[in-house]
A and B are shown apart, each in its own frame.
Chain A
Amino acid sequence: MKPAEFTYHRPESVAEALALLAENPDAKLLAGGQSLLTLMNLRLARPSAVIDIGRLTELGRIFDDTGDLVLGALVTHRMVEMDPLIAARAPLMSDAARYIGHVGIRNRGTLGGSVAHADPAAEMPLATLVLDATFHVDSASTGRRQVAADDMFVSFYTNALAPDEMITWVSVPAIRPDQGWGFVEYAHQHGDYGLAGAGCLLTLRPDGTVGALRAAVLSVADRPLLFVGDDAVGQTPSERLWQDLGEDWARRTEPAADDADYARRLCSAALTEAMTDAARRAHAYRGEPDDLS
């Protein structure tokens, strides 16, 4: 099908985009369009106005001069996948980006768009949640505020933004030498929506025990679901520990799938695998700190 009629705006500055958004409460922001235009083609979305922010090239930039990695909302998934700076500072994001749709989708789809779309099966919401990212959000009426990833994803396709707010930048804490990451996703075919997937960020203490553990799963709830492994702090990493945590966390999910037990088993396996990978990488970094440079 084709999109219904709408009025088209193409602002040339963030300020102009915010003003248009404030004037058109029913408008949708169009970035890469890889989610929005699907919904519009299927007539699941019929906005009266579309504000095309795709030319705000300032929001396509990547910085790391604050210690954090700062990514513009219009950084594409393909940039996340291929950019060497992102691979060095936030390898979990590069890893996860490879699973987003296909190359043609990743060439157009954007980080800010995916986060705002808040699909519970999506990789970038999960990655930003695991990495404890902060979203910088702007509005013509209320100015700028910061939204933690923990607070951004409310429910199916529902984010925490007010109608006149727009994500402009994303701050991601850079990975440290005492940390390791893991990301896995299970799908019938590469690029399909994941049946289950998990990401993990593990911090080890100097004595090799767990210092901090964050993991999240996709596709098994109305939003990416975060688990913070406080119980694991101080424990020695082992395959058994990851398995127990994976099973325990998966039990707490309420998958919407027809076969919820199967979805939980996948979820448990994905969590275990992601934590195992994270531990392996954290150990490797501890042995070879130069790897990070």
Chain B
Amino acid sequence: MTSADTPPAVTVSVTVNGRLIRRPVPPRRTLADFLRDELGLTGTHLGCEHGVCGACSVFIDGRSARACLTLAVQVDGLRVDTVEGLDQFEEAARLRRAFSERGGLQCGFCTPGFLVTALELLRDPDAEKPLTADTVREALSGNICRCTGYQGIVAAVLDAAAPPDSADS
């Protein structure tokens, strides 16, 4: 395709991890590639690129979504939060600590997606509390881990939901 045939870029304004970004993007650019290749936010990982593995999960206006199944032009005017921006949520630090303590990761490829999905569950006012292993497994069913397995991940999310040392938190 010659450059004359290339569809025009679309200017997008999006708040990523609290920072307002404004730049033209080709319509075909996925949000995942926009975050990684244009903004250098490589914490969002790309596995399957068709919505199965969950590694590219990010928050769009506070709800988890597949960045590979979202076009950058679709988030114009919206708020995107990636794994790099999770510290704005008070649960993030203890969730990461629990993943470390429980061995909830090995190679780490899937971890950003798990953190985003788990954080949404921890913060979901509609989720039945206290969380059980079954509800955690169902909520995380869209994130695939191919090395360490799910036992440690589920245990970590349950720990973060009800920290053993601080029952009042």
Contact = CB atoms under 8 A, between A and B. Distances in A.
Contacts of A176: none
B51 A34 contact: yes
Given A2-B33, A37-B70, A8 B27 contact: yes
B27 A190 contact: no
B65 interface: yes
Contact of A104 (B8, B65, B74): B65
Interface residues of A, number: 31
A230 to B, nearest CB: 37
Contact of B142 (A2, A33, A105): A105
B4 interface: no
Interface in B107-137: 117, 120-121, 126, 137
Given A3-B28, A5-B7, A8-B27, A108 B70 contact: yes
Interface in A1-23: 1-8, 10
Contact of A108 (B6, B30, B33, B66): B66
B27 A50 contact: yes
B90 interface: no
Interface string A36-54: 0110011000000010101
A4 B70 CA distance: 14
Interface string A79-108: 000100000000000000000011111011
A191 interface: yes
A52 B74 contact: yes
A42 B52 CA distance: 13
Interface string A188-217: 011100000000000000000000000000
A218 to B, nearest CB: 19
A82 B27 contact: no
Contacts of B10: 8
Contacts of A107: 60, 63-65
A78 interface: yes
Contacts of A30: 71, 74
B interface, over-half SS: mixed
A30 B72 CA distance: 13
A190 B71 CA distance: 26
Contacts of B117: 102-104
B141 interface: yes
Nearest to A189: B141
A1 B142 contact: no
B28 A6 contact: yes
Contacts of B8: 7
A281 to B, nearest CB: 21
A34 B73 CA distance: 15
A267 to B, nearest CB: 23
A82 B125 CA distance: 11
Contacts of B26: 5
Contacts of A101: 51, 142
B95 interface: no
B145 interface: no
Given A5-B28, A102-B142, 10 more contacts: A2-B28, A2-B49, A30-B71, A37-B30, A37-B70, A41-B50, A101-B51, A104-B54, A104-B64, A189-B141
23 contacts: A2-B33, A5-B7, A5-B27, A7-B7, A7-B8, A7-B27, A8-B71, A10-B73, A34-B66, A37-B51, A37-B70, A37-B71, A38-B50, A42-B50, A52-B74, A102-B54, A102-B143, A103-B64, A103-B117, A103-B120, A104-B66, A105-B66, A108-B70
Interface of B: 1, 5-8, 10, 26-28, 30, 33, 49-51, 54, 57, 60, 63-66, 68-71, 73-74, 76, 117, 120-121, 126, 137-139, 141-143
